[in-house]
Structure 1
């Protein structure tokens, strides 16, 4: 009986968490059309390969499924009309080593980029190609009507990686 009660409480928490992350269709449409939103990553999925899966299976709480939970983190992609700023982790194989340990992950600020948003049946496909980011070749963001999104990152010197998360309006900065 206690197990059933615990499962019901867990299911209620899971549903509440997912419902609070969603945005309504109008808000999603508004922020995409305004080109002013934040993608908040909740999980990362490196390109499937045996080496990465071996490492992930040895991590605490890890599995060999290839999905890394980022819950509680502040990993984001911020998009506005004049800039794109990324602060995301990277898991996978890099073909060129970085000399600066602060350069690990996907971190850049771009003021020179191509932006294309296409409306699909049940959402949008947004392609961003930064011209002044040294490693990132393209970012493809698939957004559902209720704000759930998948971000695919293609790099020049690394394997591709995908992130799941939500998009939302950016929080106003305190003055």
Structure 2
């Protein structure tokens, strides 16, 4: 098991020094699921939610969150992201909306946390905008699907390990 990079020899928390790391193209894809009542999903898809366009608001919130990840997670580096996308895949049969984010950068550090943060905040925005209709919504299955770049190379989640 590798040692923890965010803890110094005295056990103190620290931000990893990436100064000497070579910048490379890096990317990450994350996903999550919001489960809701069929009527709630129908209202979202037919633009009947009184607070406005739920998915476009959640998309903007997710993009903004990716850009602000270092303000939320203490040891994350502030990054100059080159691309953030947040997409939605509604499934009326299951009453779910799958959220997927992809983030890219050319830098010394990866963007996994930014992709995960984008999904999380997009999901919370959906909940916030629809909670007056459906307080039983659940947010689940938030996970890293893929990451590329850097010293550790490529990671792709096995389908069998998806939540």
TM-score by length of 1: 0.28
TM-score by length of 2: 0.29
Structure ranking higher in strand proportion = 1
Structure ranking higher in helix proportion = 2
Kindly indicate whether structure 1 or structure 2 has the higher relative contact order, using CA contacts under 8 Å at least 6 residues apart: 2
